[in-house]
Structure formats: C-alpha cells, structure tokens
Amino acid sequence: SYLLSLHIRIGESEMVFSSLEFLFFFFPLVFIIYFFINPRYANLMLLMASLLFYYLGDKEHMRLLISAIAIAYLGGALIQKYKNIIVKKFILSVSLFLMLGMMAYYKYLNFMVENVNEFLNKNIETREIVLPIGISFFIFQAISYVIDIYRGEGALKNPIDMALYISFFPQLIAGPIIRFHDISEYMDRKYREINIENVENGIWRFSVGISKKVLLANNLGGLADIVFSVNNIKQCSVLYTWLGAIAYTLQIYYDFSGYSDMAIGLGEIFGFKFQENFNFPYAASSIKDFWRRWHISLSQFFRDYVYIPLGGNRCSIARRIFNMLLVWFLTGLWHGASWNYIIWGLAYGFILLIERKTLNENRKLLLIDVLGHIYTMISVVFLWVVFRTNDLMQAKLYITNMLGIGASSIVDGGFIFQVKNFAVLIIIAVVFCIPVPNVIKNKIGEKGWFQWIKAFMLVCCMVASVSYIYMGSYNPFLYFMF
C-alpha cells in the first residue's frame, strides 16, 4: 500500500494522537504522573510510557526498537572510549551496517527480490514481512546518535536517557527526525524547563495539529480517495482528476504537518524543544524553496549525514551532480519500497539541478516570484500524483488525463458534484496552507480581542475534532511506514 494507516491499539480500540484513547486516557495519565513524579525518575517514566506506546501498536517488533537502541548505545560508548581514528571508523561502520541492515531487511528485501525476479527472470520466493511501525524514524535517530558521537558530541552515559532519545513517543513513529546534537542537552531533566507557559503553548500547538488532521486532512482525504479509486481514470474529466490531485496535495500537507504540530506541542509540554518541520511549503517560489520548507528535519538529515560527507558542493561538477542525485534517490527510497517513490525523489533531484543552473535567487521582481510559485505548485501537484498512485502505469494514466490526453471531457458531473460538496473546505485549506493568517496577525498585532477570538476559534475546532472522532468519522492516519 502506498500509504498505511497507523493503528496503535488498546484491545480493539485505535489509539493514535487523534483518537479518544490517546486524548482521554494515555496522554492525561502520562501528563499527571510526569508532573508529580520525582524529577530524578522523569526520564525513566517517559521511557516506560514511550515503550508502552510502541508496544501497544507493534509488540511483534518491540525487539527491533530495543535492538536499535542497544546498537546505538554500545556503538556510541565504544566510539567515545577509543581514541584511534581507525578503530572509531570501524565501530561506526559496524553500527551503521547493523542499523541500516535491519531497515533494509524489513523495508526493501521483498522489493529487491521482486526486481531481481523481473529483470533477471528468476523465481525467488518473497517472504511475509510485516513492516515495523516508524522503523525509519527511530533508525535514523539512532544513526544520528552514533555519527554525532563520532564527530565529537558527548555520549549519553545513562542508557535510560539514550533509550528515551530514540523512543520518545511524540516523535517515535512519524517524526520529526530529531538529530542528537540538536537535543542532547534536553536529555538531562535539569535542563528542561517545565512551566505553565510551556504547557499552555504545547497544548495550543497540539490543538492546532489535531484540528488540521481531523477537520481538514480527513475530509480532504475522503475526496482524494474517491477520485484516485476510480478504476478507469480515462472515464473522468480533466478537472475531476485535477480536483483529486489538489485534494491529495492539501491532505498530505495537513495530515503530516498536523502530526508534526502535535509532536512539537507534546514535546514542549514535557520541556523538549523540537525543531519546526514545516514552514508553509506551498508558499514556495521554487522547488529549492519548497524543500527548505517541507519535512525540514528529513532534508537536514540527508544534508548533514549524506550530502556534505560525500563532498557536497566542494567537488567537481560531475561529483556534485552524483551527490545530488544520490541524495534524492535515497530520499525517494526512504519513503517506501516502490519505483513510484524512487522516481518521485529523482524527479526532484533533476529539477533542483536545473534550478541551480537557471534560477536567480536574488530576483526582486514580483511577477517572477508569482510565476515561480505557479511553476513550483504545478510541479509539486504532479509529483504528488506519482507519490499517491499505486504504480508508475497508474501515475502515467492519471497525469496524462490531467493534461487532457485521452480524457473523456474537460468537465463532468462528478466534478460539479464534488465541487459543490467540497468547495468551502478546499478554499479554507488553501487559505491556511499559505501565510495569510500570519500576515493578518502581524497587521493586527497582539491585541487582546484578537487573542480571545483565536482562543475561541481553537476551542471550537477542538470540540468539533473530538466530536468527529467520537462519531467515528473517516479518520485515517496518513503516516509513512518509514
């Protein structure tokens, strides 16, 4: 499946961040215990809560998470212990091999076997492998730990602190990816400031995130699923396929950024400062600008741990091109074992290479910025179609229909019907995915009446979100089984 629903269960009930079990059972219980427990046991308590959170969702792969923690802890300790650079490199290499090997087995073994069978005309049997929840996120954080220790960051002596860094439940299963050197100081409880302001800001941020997910992403996802599930897309009009692509473009932003907001908010409640993961990416005026704003933690991970170590821009033109395309190949592959993801990633790599040669980032003309924004969003929408479809043939058929090639008509009854149902939702989603609210806020300032209006609207959104969840409305969780 191109996207999978996240099911963390208590008995037969779902428990994701946008579930009643999490909102009214798991989080309140963890919150209350955390603020009454002796600070010296705070990290232990959060670790136990995080491991329980993962166990409830994927107990079959609990040993994999524990193994990643153990490898990273032992590797970091040995790297710091030995002074010989050759020994350090050997320990780092072994640690990376083991961690990447675990991820490769679960995510890519069957994909590799299927391609070997197809291209070499073999008949190797695939295995029944269940993908562990959040494997790429906790593996990448474990990788960040050993590399940062190798680069001189101080290793965590307490294994509880180390385990908490990798398994902390707010960002365990879908990020953001927290690099160790960005958060190492917060692993000591005494450096985490716990106060009413942090709790207030964290709850506010969490509320924004859950409103994005439940009120916007879920409903947009319903529309996207209707369109993308059509068996013969050529029977649909051009505008109908554009409507589905736009709905998915908005859905994936609100689902993923909503999750990041919830994770950042929960982290702040417990005194952790997570970096921003999204910064209005659909306001970008180039693809380079888009990837400065979209899934920031992933872009920074590949920049710091792959692109720069390969030489980055400090090498020949041919090597720079190779470095860039390798990074984007890995970015696509990281999202899943499918040629759709690989083509999606490489397409961004080629576009960025073209932009590097042609784009003048110092331009000041408004018209050029507007045209850049249009080109960027058209590119992003088309590439999200490649990302969303099940295979490259379906992506080809869908995109050619969007271009009017072989389409049944420009507009049809299905398009008109869905626009009548979803027009208001789409307009709201478009307005809030660009910095319009921030512009209004900056012009009005921090006036008391404006703060009250914002608080009232957010309370209404939270009540509506909880009502939706309680009524059992369409509530998928688009999280990537990375």
Residues serving a catalytic function are 335
Strands 478-479 and 13-14: unpaired
Q: Which residue has the tokens 């969003």?
A: 377
Q: Which amino acid is at 222?
A: G
Q: Which amino acid is at 257?
A: S
Rounded Cα–Cα distance for residues 248 and 241 (Å): 11
Q: Which residue has the tokens 């990633």?
A: 345
Strands 13-14 and 9-10: antiparallel
Helix ranges (H only) for 59-84 are: 62-81
Q: Which residue has the tokens 């365990």?
A: 172
C-beta of residue 381 within 8 angstroms of C-beta of residue 344: no
The three-state secondary structure class of 478 is strand
Nearest alpha carbon to residue 296 among 276, 313, 314, 280: 276
Residue 22 corresponds to which tokens in the numbers above? 């999490």
For 14-44, b where at least 16 C-beta lie within 10 A, e where not — what string? bbbbbbebbbeebbeebbeebeeeeeeebbb
Residue 457 corresponds to which tokens in the numbers above? 């609207």
Q: Which amino acid is at 129?
A: I
Q: What is the total residue count of the chain?
A: 482
Rounded Cα–Cα distance for residues 96 and 392 (Å): 32
Rounded Cα–Cα distance for residues 274 and 178 (Å): 7
Indicate the helix (H) or strand (E) that contains 234.
none
C-beta neighbour count of 381 within 10 angstroms: 18
